[in-house]
Each structure stands twice: as C-alpha cells, then as structure tokens.
Amino acid sequence: MGISHRSGTAALRDHLFVEEAAQPEALAGLKAAGFEQALVLSTCDRTEVQAVHAEPTVAAERIIAILAGRSAVAPAELASQAYRLTDEAALRHIFAVAASLDSLVIGEPQVLGQLKASHRIAREAGLVGGDLEAALQGAYRAAKRVRTETALAQQPVSIAAAAVQLARKVHGDLGRCSGLLIGTGEMGELMADQLAKAGLARLTVAHPSQKRAELTAQRLACHFLGLNGVPPGLEAADIIIGSLGTGKSVVTAPMIRAALKMRRRRPILLLDVAVPGDIEMTVGEIEEAFLYDLDDLERLAMQGRSTRAAAAEEAWGIVDQEVMDFLRKRDERAGVPPLIALRRHFEALRTEVLEATRPGDAEEATRLLVNKLLHDPSEMLRAMAAARRAGGPVEPEAAAQLLCAIFGLTEAECDEMPDDLTNADRKRQKEGE
C-alpha cells in the first residue's frame, strides 16, 4: 500500500518521502502496530509499504495512520490518493516494481537497488519473515530475467547516453561545463550521473525539499540548493536537467532569456525528463536554448517508440510468468506439512503393528496395517454420510472421489461394489469397523 506517481501528486510524495536513515523508525512504528513482516520502499516516484498481514483492511488502515502521522498529512487526503493491493495483485506489483515496469521511466535501474536496500533494512529490524522473503526473492528473479532477456533495461542508459552526446555536440569539452539538476527523479539522476562520468566539471542539485536535495547531492558528490535558488543559478548552468514533475514550469522562457543575456549568449542545453515537464515549451523557441524532452531523447536513442513498447510487453510477460510460477510453488509447499504429518502417522501405525504381531509374521502384520490405515478414512466417510442424512451439507461422495484420486484409483474401481466378497473381505470390513 502506498502513493506513487500513478496515484498521487508530487507534493504529497515529497511529504511522504522516508529517507533511508529514517526507515528503521518507520519500521518500528509498523512493528508496534502489529506487523511481523514489512518493508518501506521510498523513492522519488513512490512511498509504499510491502507487508504480510492476515487482515488487509485492518493493515491498510494502520499503514495510512502511520504514514499520515509521519508526514503531517491528513489520513483522508492520503487515503484518497493511495493504492491498496492484496494477494496475487500485490505480488504482481512487487515483481513489476523490482523489474522497473512501474517506474515513471520504465526500465530505469535505480529502483531495484533501492528495493534491495529497503529489504536489508527491514531484515535488520527483524521484519522479514518467510513469506516476505520468498516474495522478494521471486521479484529479484523476475527483475533479473527482464534485464537479461529483454531490451528494456538498455533504454534508460541509452537515453542518458544520447544526452551525453547532445551535451558534447552543444558544448564540446564537458570538463568546462556546469550542470543543474532540478528534482531527484530516477531518470534525471541517472542522466546527471552519466554526464559526471563523461567529465562534467560541476553539478548542483535543486529540490523544494532541502533534505531531498542534500541526500541526492551526497549520492552524486555535488552541491545542492533549494528551489528558490534555481532562477539565479541558471546563469551558471550550461546543462539543465528537469526531473521534478510538479506540473508547474520551474524554468520559464523569461528566466532563460535573462540567463542567456548574462551569459553573453553562450548556449544552454535543457533536458526535460520530468513528467509532466518542468521546462516551459516556449523555451525551445529561444535562440541559443536547446530544449529536448523525454520523447526527443528516446527518438535519438532508438528507432521509434515501438522498440520500447515491444520490450515492455515482453517484460510484462516474464513478470506474469514468474508470478504464476511463484504461486504454483507456494501452493505445492502448502501440501508438504500434511504429507509429513501423514508419513509420521503411518510410521507410528507401522511400529504399533510390528509390536503387536509375532516376529516374521508378515501376513498378519501387513493385514493389520492395512486395516489400521483404512480405519480413519472409513470412519470419516461414515460420519459424513450420517451428517448428510441428518440434513447437513456434507457430501461423502466428493470425499470418496478425492480419496480415490489421491491413491490413483480409477472412477470405475471406486464405483464398483463386488457381488462376490470373500470371507477375507468381509473380515477386513468388520475389522475396519
């Protein structure tokens, strides 16, 4: 349960953001609320709780209360923008998140690392049990298959590479350039990281939340400032990356005209990878301002959007296949404890029979063992038949068919009642009674 770019506003996501250092505190709140298995995943795109709980409605109410209490957001506002998924839908979501199919920029690589970090923190807090561990390991397997079997994971890297090529085309040597990253979206951070690796001399991160800006700056080893520092910071920025996505233009045409005037018409490259965009579209009409949005960068990175769409479709097929495989194996595991208990019961009966018969009398021992094994099923079928005669809903025929199926008997064998029962058969029936 949580809020993502698909369900909630950027402002609400900023309020809900839980930095990595604060996750143990949030997990302590979940533990105090009765959760035995849970983790908190918080990125620029989402803040959600992945948990195992027997009562989903109760769990959802408690998660809303905890997240609202931490962020000073009204529970009703949070609930109105939250998603809640249970059972198979929840598993599919966790697998899709790990495979970066639910990210704002599909295929971005950071979210898998963030999920693994949240997994580690939850494990250290004692909140990862067998069910959650199994689900996460299944999600990691799905993500690995998507990365290795499809072209999806290559797309964000290729988009960032296209941005580096553009930057070099506009500015030449990046070692003389400064960059300004507005927002902390995964695609923007990846692009800034690739530019830094390509030799970008200086980078600054701006965000409405100084804490968010500081955390991203620590990861990228650069400077940071508040959003109010953007207008004066445009003059020094040779490359501007928009990655906030608030729905409002953070960079406007008048700002760029003023910055270019101070820069003596030295060009500015603007890369708007936010959805919705951070940079006013009319900026692209200004001479010496080169504006590219995410679609432009994708077109440069590959031949049309069809490649990415096909890769995404293939990736979803892998996720669905892995979810079905996970559920099948889980159901198979559910049948193991009864089989173990049944084997122990049979072994106890075998020991009892061996102690009750003469050593070496295999005929007597096996006859008694068969009778003892059939005694409980016989009693169960008689009780079910009696209950039906008394007006109960029990169907002994269905139970009998299940017994036959378990022991590999055909329908004809189960339905047949021999006319020529031998004395031994009658004796066994009597002993079974």
Which residues are marked as active site? 44
Helix (H) or strand (E) holding 161, with range, is helix 154-171
Q: How far apart are CA 429 and CA 433, in angstroms?
A: 6
Question: What is the DSSP code (8-state) at residue 304?
Answer: S
How many Cβ atoms from other residues are within 10 Å of residue 152's Cβ?
A: 25
Q: For the sheet with 37-42, list strands across it.
A: 2-4, 46-52, 37-42
Going 238 to 242 to 243 to 244, the CA torsion angle's sign is positive
| Cβ atoms 413, 404 nearer than 8 A | yes
Q: Which two tokens stand for residue 234?
A: 């445009």
- Bridge partners (DSSP) of residue 132 are none
Q: Where are the beta strands (DSSP E) in 94-238?
A: 178-182, 202-207, 223-226
Provide φ and ψ at 81, rounded to 5°. -110, 5
Q: Which of 251, 169, 253, 162 is nearest to 206 (CA)?
A: 251
Q: Which of 180, 187, 210 is nearest to 17 (CA)?
A: 210
Pairing of strands 46-52, 223-226: unpaired
Amino acid 3 reads I
Compute CA 25 distance to the chain's CA centroid, rounded to the nearest angstrom.
Answer: 22
Q: Is the previous residue joined to 276 through a cis bond, with omega within 30 degrees of 0?
A: yes
Q: What is the CA radius of gyration of the chain?
A: 32
Half-sphere exposure of 211 (CA within 13 A, CB side): 10
- Bridge partners (DSSP) of residue 279 are 251
Q: Which of 82, 282, 237 is nearest to 225 (CA)?
A: 237
| Cβ atoms 262, 28 nearer than 8 A | no
Q: Which two tokens stand for residue 69?
A: 């209490």
- Bridge partners (DSSP) of residue 178 are 202
Q: How far apart are CA 163 and CA 189, in angstroms?
A: 12
